[in-house]
Chains A and B, each alone.
Chain A
């Protein structure tokens, strides 16, 4: 369970990205965070795994106060939280399986990391992760030869390989074409159902968010302005999240 209690986040340059965020997400939920660029969507995700520090308030994940974690404890905590990026963040010169195997690196000894030695069990587990996202046949292909959708699946496999309880996805489909984007969203739905992993994703495409996610959180200028099941959100509420500008979906309202 993820719990934000009166969380504020101010950047060193004085910009307040989050104001008084209160949010509770149960294990196994599939949540979409929507809002304009710069509204604070990314900051919310990055606070959860402490890629950013919280300035004020408490943020607990499974009862652990995230802000109190340091060094090795923090790294251990991050093992449970997977993260997916818009630009995939793969080592594009390496093969798919090598990228997936990097998920094991944090738990390996210095010399094994130094020489890149992985056991057969680790390799089998990596291949199984690739199989879960349906690109086992590309295991030994270099990532720069894969399409965008395939690369995002390798990134997903890498995250699955660390066996997380939560997956944070920062604009996972923003650089994909519409059809591939749907396929990747379906992958997320399947993983959410099959492995009971909580998924939080930032997304620009409202139609995708409403179609695939259970719950929608609307963020506007650092504040939560909507929180509820995807099925109940109205056109007015969407408009409000987007500062009164017309959202590009759902026709002319109800």
Chain B
């Protein structure tokens, strides 16, 4: 590589002809071939053991059932007001996501500051980063199954699970914001004679709020989707009912749950994108 660079540098000094330049063209085809080869190998290796046995005995009926459920949802369930109807369950799912996100966002603040290299010495910061990574790697479903031992099944389990799970991603994004802090402002506040507290209040916090809020809203988006699956292990929300209906093949009910879920998630995603765009423009 160094040799090649040297040759190119010589080319700058001495006028070369097109033919000479062509002769020393960088040859990269072997690299591309290697990449393609690796991908092909990985795919064939993974494909070799994926067992495809065609449809199951009831596969066709299930597929038909899902389609008929989505086209003919159970309207009474969809617009009912009872505790097992779609609107209530959606609200509960949202409630889990609201609390989970809020607690997670608050818990993430100390983690983020402790893991920022411009605030603490590198070894300590990296230790906290490993901890954050650990929290993030354990799937939320596993967290839920562990917390259920403490809280028992129900929405509270969903809240505490999401609070913990959110710490991972939220603090990761907070850290980026903290490490991007413009320290020149602190210098000028120093020059004006501000105390450390004043420096944090007027130099640090104004820089961080917008991105912290934006991160939190983004995470709310994710948590809402996640909250729908937590129900599967009994942590409240719409997921439990959806899975029960799927397993007992009540397709019309499946249809109304799926519609409710899609509409809610679409609305929240739309709102969250708009609010975050406004925040980014500084309104």
Query: Chain B residue with minimal CB distance to A139?
Result: B21
Tell me if A's interface is mostly helix, strand, loop or mixed.
helix
Q: Which 10 A-B pairs have the closest CB atoms?
A: A127-B18, A128-B18, A137-B11, A137-B12, A131-B18, A127-B21, A140-B26, A139-B21, A136-B21, A127-B22
**Which residues of the partner chain B approach A140 to less than 8 Å between Cβ atoms?**
8, 25-26
Query: Chain B residue with minimal CB distance to A138?
Result: B12
**Which residues of the partner chain A approach B41 to less than 8 Å between Cβ atoms?**
none
Which of B11, B12, B16, B22 contacts A124, CB < 8 Å? B22
Bound-state Cα–Cα, A120 to B21, Å: 12
Instruction: Evaluate contact between A137 and B16: CB separation under 8 angstroms.
Output: yes
Bound-state Cα–Cα, A37 to B16, Å: 42
Interface size on A, residues (CB 8 A): 12
Which chain A residues numbered 95 to 126 have a C-beta less than 8 Å away from chain B?
97, 120, 123-124
Q: Which positions in B face A, CB cutoff 8 Å?
A: 8, 11-12, 16-19, 21-22, 25-26
A137-B11, A140-B8 given as contacts; is B16 within 8 A of A120 (CB)? no
Task: For the A-B complex with A124-B22, A127-B18 known, give 7 more contacts whose Cβ atoms are closer than 8 Å.
Answer: A127-B21, A127-B22, A136-B21, A137-B12, A137-B21, A139-B25, A140-B25
**Which residues of the partner chain A approach B25 to less than 8 Å between Cβ atoms?**
97, 123, 139-140
**Which residues of the partner chain B approach A97 to less than 8 Å between Cβ atoms?**
25
**Which residues of the partner chain B approach A130 to less than 8 Å between Cβ atoms?**
18
**Which residues of the partner chain A approach B18 to less than 8 Å between Cβ atoms?**
124, 127-128, 130-131, 136
Instruction: Evaluate contact between A120 and B8: CB separation under 8 angstroms.
Output: no
Q: Which positions in A face B, CB cutoff 8 Å?
A: 97, 120, 123-124, 127-128, 130-131, 136-137, 139-140
Residue of B12, B18, B26 ringed by the most chain A CB atoms within 10 A: B18
Residue of B8, B21, B22, B26 ringed by the most chain A CB atoms within 10 A: B21
- A sample of 27 inter-chain contacts (CB < 8 A) reads A97-B25, A120-B22, A123-B22, A123-B25, A124-B18, A124-B19, A124-B22, A127-B18, A127-B21, A127-B22, A128-B18, A130-B18, A131-B17, A131-B18, A136-B16, A136-B18, A136-B21, A137-B8, A137-B11, A137-B12, A137-B16, A137-B21, A139-B21, A139-B25, A140-B8, A140-B25, A140-B26
Bound-state Cα–Cα, A120 to B11, Å: 20
Bound-state Cα–Cα, A63 to B210, Å: 62
CB B184 to nearest CB in A, in angstroms, measures: 28
Bound-state Cα–Cα, A12 to B115, Å: 57
Query: Chain A residue with minimal CB distance to B18?
Result: A127
CB A65 to nearest CB in B, in angstroms, measures: 39
**Which residues of the partner chain A approach B22 to less than 8 Å between Cβ atoms?**
120, 123-124, 127
Bound-state Cα–Cα, A124 to B25, Å: 11
CB B23 to nearest CB in A, in angstroms, measures: 10
**Which residues of the partner chain A approach B19 to less than 8 Å between Cβ atoms?**
124
Query: Chain B residue with minimal CB distance to A95?
Result: B26
**Which residues of the partner chain A approach B8 to less than 8 Å between Cβ atoms?**
137, 140
Bound-state Cα–Cα, A123 to B23, Å: 11
Query: Chain A residue with minimal CB distance to B14?
Result: A137
Bound-state Cα–Cα, A120 to B23, Å: 11
Bound-state Cα–Cα, A124 to B19, Å: 7
**Which residues of the partner chain B approach A139 to less than 8 Å between Cβ atoms?**
21, 25
Bound-state Cα–Cα, A123 to B16, Å: 15
Query: Chain B residue with minimal CB distance to A126?
Result: B18
Bound-state Cα–Cα, A137 to B12, Å: 6
**Which residues of the partner chain B approach A120 to less than 8 Å between Cβ atoms?**
22
Bound-state Cα–Cα, A178 to B279, Å: 40
**Which residues of the partner chain A approach B21 to less than 8 Å between Cβ atoms?**
127, 136-137, 139
CB A31 to nearest CB in B, in angstroms, measures: 31
Bound-state Cα–Cα, A137 to B22, Å: 11
**Which residues of the partner chain A approach B26 to less than 8 Å between Cβ atoms?**
140
Query: Chain B residue with minimal CB distance to A120?
Result: B22
Bound-state Cα–Cα, A131 to B21, Å: 10
Query: Chain B residue with minimal CB distance to A128?
Result: B18
**Which residues of the partner chain B approach A136 to less than 8 Å between Cβ atoms?**
16, 18, 21
**Which residues of the partner chain B approach A131 to less than 8 Å between Cβ atoms?**
17-18
**Which residues of the partner chain A approach B11 to less than 8 Å between Cβ atoms?**
137
Bound-state Cα–Cα, A131 to B15, Å: 10
CB B104 to nearest CB in A, in angstroms, measures: 38
